[in-house]
Amino acid sequence: MVFRNSMKLFNIIFCGLLILFTIDSQAQRINEKYIKRFPQSITAKGFIGTKPNEFKLEDNLTSGILSYKVATAPRFGGGISYKWFSVASSLFKLNEPNENQKGITNQFDVQWNFYLRLLSIDLRIQRHEGYYLENSNAIKNWDEIKNGLYQRYDLITSSVGGNIRYNFNYQKYSPRAIFSQTERQLKSAGSPSLGFRWNILRVECDSSIVPENIESTFANFNLNQLSFSDIGIGLGYGYTFIRDRWFFNIGFMSFVVHQNLNFYENGLLQKQIGLQVNFQSRTALGYSNDNIYFGFTAVADQMYSNWQNNKNIIYSFSKIRLIFAKRIHTQPIKVEKREIWN
């Protein structure tokens, strides 16, 4: 029910994006000393990327930690970008994860990132079935050499969500120059941002997520199903450092969210409503001129919940890519004056 309702909300927000795109299209005035546009150019790109995903439980009373992760492998993919629109897809795995060591994860993980003039928008739909316990040494008498990491094929997470960020200094600071490669940041600049986010998560397991042979370290935290949703606003800041054609970008958002948490502990339904703080970060490093771009980009996000000040539930996800892009100019472009320090 929670996931079905979240899809209805997702459709409403997606339709609302059409209105936002229209509003954003009216804000085209920029400072050309800081940003260079390529309005008649198409950016073709190839990348190597991965999408880590983690579900973590922490017991503050006993310092117990369970860190479940998906078995992922780096993938090669490609895509194209034109103005604000960008589409990319993974094509094939570069290698296979060690099935004996980490097991198998069946996953559906789609993440969209739109970098407009005024707005930056992230959307996602995720479902992961099958996790391994990274800190398997927490299980008593568990032999990692013989058995590999402790695996939970019955652990399933389903999540939808997104966020919208308003870029105040859009005339000088261009996130799309870094993350969609359709522009160039010519001089160092940054911008504060105001954001809105919403997320829904459902976690289910055939038996307790906390294995029996370590359950005592979690103060009888017998949990096999939970769901929580959050909605809130946040503030952040992003900055791109430029030296010649090299760039380094760093950005963060801090969200205060209203959260609704429901889970079954020891067979009893537990509920909690309150305020929580969640964080999002992104960074990039690379080289860009009028014709080519190559660099490393990473976007990380999380859903965090604290239960009665002694248990933490953390769902984190990210997208990491090494990108090479070529700008295909359909019309001649203005040749830049080379500057050693911007």
Dump pLDDT digits (tens) for 237-270: 999 999 999 999 999 999 999 999 888 777 778 8
pLDDT higher than 60, residue 140: yes
pLDDT higher than 50, residue 332: yes
CA-based nearest residue to 254, from 309, 296, 304, 311: 304
Query: What tens digit of pLDDT does each residue of 15-67 get?
Result: 666 555 555 555 568 899 999 998 888 999 999 999 999 999 988 877 888 99
Query: What tens digit of pLDDT does each residue of 206-217 get?
Result: 888 888 777 667
Query: What tens digit of pLDDT does each residue of 262-295 get?
Result: 887 777 788 888 899 999 999 999 999 999 999 9
Q: Name every residue whose Cβ is closer than 8 Å to that of residue 290 and which is 6 or more positions away in sequence.
A: 36, 38, 184, 327, 333, 335, 336
Spatial contact of 216 and 276, defined as CB atoms under 8 Å apart: no
| pLDDT of amino acid 156 | 95
DSSP 281-332: EEEEEEEE-SSEEEEEEEEEEEEEEEETTTEEEEEEEEEEEEEEEEEEESS-
Query: What tens digit of pLDDT does each residue of 60-87 get?
Result: 877 888 999 999 889 999 998 887 777 8
Would you kindly state where each structural domain of the chain is located, as residue ranges?
2-25+36-329
Other C-beta atoms closer than 10 Å to the C-beta of 60 total: 14
Architecture category of domain 2-25+36-329 in CATH: Beta Barrel (2.40)
How is residue 281 written in tokens?
A: 């970060």
Spatial contact of 225 and 188, defined as CB atoms under 8 Å apart: no
pLDDT higher than 60, residue 338: no
Containing H/E element for 2? Answer: helix 2-24
Residue position matching structure tokens 């490669």: 181
pLDDT higher than 90, residue 4: no
For residue 97, the one-letter residue type is: P
CA-based nearest residue to 69, from 143, 161, 150, 132: 132
Q: Name every residue whose Cβ is closer than 8 Å to that of residue 11 and which is 6 or more positions away in sequence.
A: none
pLDDT higher than 70, residue 194: yes
**Residues 315, 158: Cα–Cα separation, whole Å:** 11
pLDDT higher than 80, residue 9: no
pLDDT higher at 335 or 34: 34
Torsion angle, CA of 260/11/25/321, rounded to 10 degrees?
A: 70
How is residue 11 written in tokens?
A: 């459709």
**Residues 36, 187: Cα–Cα separation, whole Å:** 10
pLDDT higher than 50, residue 141: yes
